[in-house]
Amino acid sequence: MVDFGFSSYKSRFIDLDKVDTKLPTELFKEDEILRACIGCGGCSGACTAAQFTNFNFRLLHTLIRRGEYKEAKQEAEKCMLCGKCYMTCPRGINTRKIIQGIKRIF
Amino acid sequence: MYDIIIIGGGVAGMQAAIAAKKLNLEPIILEKENKLGGKVAHKYSLFPTFSSAEQLIDRLEAQIIENKIDVRYHCEVVSIHKEELSVGYTLNVGDIKKVDNLQARSILITTGYEPFDARIKQEYGYQVYDNIYTSMDLEAMMKKGLILTKEGNTPESIAFIHCVGSRDSQIGNEHCSRVCCVTGVKQATELCQMIKGARVYNFYMDMRMFGSGYEEMYKEAQQNYQVRFIRGRVSELSQTIDHKVRLKAEDTLISKPIAITVDMVILLVGMCGAVNNESIGESAGLELRENGLFKPVNAFDSTTKSTVNGIFYAGCAESPKNISESMNQASQAILNISTYLESK
Measured between CA atoms, how close is B250 to chain A, in angstroms? 4
Please judge whether A84 and B252 are an interchain contact, meaning their C-beta atoms are less than 8 angstroms apart. Answer: no
Supply the Cα-derived Rg of chain B in whole angstroms. Answer: 21
C-beta of residue B126 within 8 angstroms of C-beta of residue B119? yes
Find, in chain B, the residue whose alpha carbon is nearest to that of A56: B255
Residue that wins the pLDDT comparison between A3 and B201: B201
The answer to whether residue A101 sits within a structural domain is yes
Read off the pLDDT of each residue in B202-210 and give the average, rounded to a whole number.
97
- In sign, the C-alpha dihedral spanning B316, B322, B325, B326 is positive
Q: What are the domain boundaries of chain B?
A: 2-112+274-343, 115-269
Closest by Cα among B242, B234, B293, B291 to B267 = B234
> Is residue A6 in some structural domain?
no
As a whole number of angstroms, the distance between CA A81 and CA A86 comes to: 10
Q: What is the pLDDT of residues A65-95, one digit of tens each?
A: 999 999 999 999 999 999 999 999 999 999 9
Q: What distance in Å separates the CA atoms of residue B279 and residue B330, rounded to the nearest whole number?
A: 22
Distance, C-alpha B190 to centroid of its chain = 19
Between the CA of residue B110 and those of B6, B99, B126, what are the distances in Å?
7, 21, 29
Q: What percent of chain B has pLDDT over 70?
A: 100
Chains A, B: CB pairs < 8 Å: 72
For A59, the closest chain B residue by CA position comes to: B255
B249 has pLDDT over 70: yes
Tell me which residue range forms the domain holding A68.
Answer: 22-105
Contact B1/B103 with Cβ under 8 angstroms?
yes
Positive/negative CA dihedral, B82, B4, B275, B304: positive
Fold of B115-269: FAD/NAD(P)-binding domain (3.50.50)
Q: What is the pLDDT of residues A7-57, one digit of tens each?
A: 777 778 888 888 888 889 999 999 999 999 999 999 999 999 998 899 999
pLDDT in tens, B294-333: 999 999 999 999 999 999 999 999 999 999 999 999 999 9
pLDDT confidence tier of residue B104, bands split at 50, 70 and 90:
very high
In a domain, A10, yes or no: no
Residue type for A65, please? R
Candidates B279, B283, B285, B274; CA nearest to B316 is B274
Question: Do B257 and A38 make contact, defined as CB atoms within 8 angstroms?
Answer: no
- Per-residue pLDDT at B44: 98
The residue count for chain B: 344
Q: Which residue type sits at A4?
A: F
Q: With an 8 Å Cβ cutoff, are B235 and A46 in contact?
A: yes
- Alpha helix ranges (H) inside B195-287: 214-223, 277-284
Q: What residues in A contact B120, CB-CB < 8 Å?
A: none
Strand, helix or coil for residue B277: helix
Q: Assess if residue A1 is contained within a domain.
A: no
The mean of the pLDDT values for chain B is 97
CA distance B143 to B200: 20
Q: Which residue of B has its CA nearest to A54?
A: B256
d(CA A58, CA B126): 27
Query: Would A74 be classed as within a structural domain?
Result: yes
Q: Is the pLDDT of residue B65 over 70?
A: yes
- Residue B255 has its nearest CB partner, among A33, A51, A59, at A59
How far apart (Å, rounded) are the C-alpha atoms in residues A57 and A99?
8
Mean pLDDT of B195-215: 97
pLDDT in tens, B107-119: 999 999 999 999 9
CB spacing of A89 vs B167 below 8 angstroms: no
Cα A78 from chain centre: 12
Q: What is the pLDDT of residues B141-177, one digit of tens each?
A: 999 999 999 999 999 999 999 999 999 999 999 999 9
Cis peptide before B48 (omega within 30 of 0): yes
- The Cα–Cα gap between B313 and B329 comes to 8
Mean pLDDT value of segment B287-294: 96
B78 has a pLDDT exceeding 80: yes
Average pLDDT over residues B250-258: 96
In this structure, chain A runs to a length of 106
Average pLDDT over residues B182-206: 97
B169·A92 Cβ contact <8 A: yes
- Quote the number of domains for chain A: 1
Residue A27: CB atoms within 10 Å: 21
pLDDT of residue A1: 65
Predicted pLDDT of residue A38: 96
Nearest to residue B123, comparing CAs of B85, B176, B161, B88? B161
The fold for domain B2-112+274-343 equals FAD/NAD(P)-binding domain (3.50.50)
Kindly indicate the confidence band of residue B67, based on its pLDDT and cuts at 50, 70 and 90.
very high
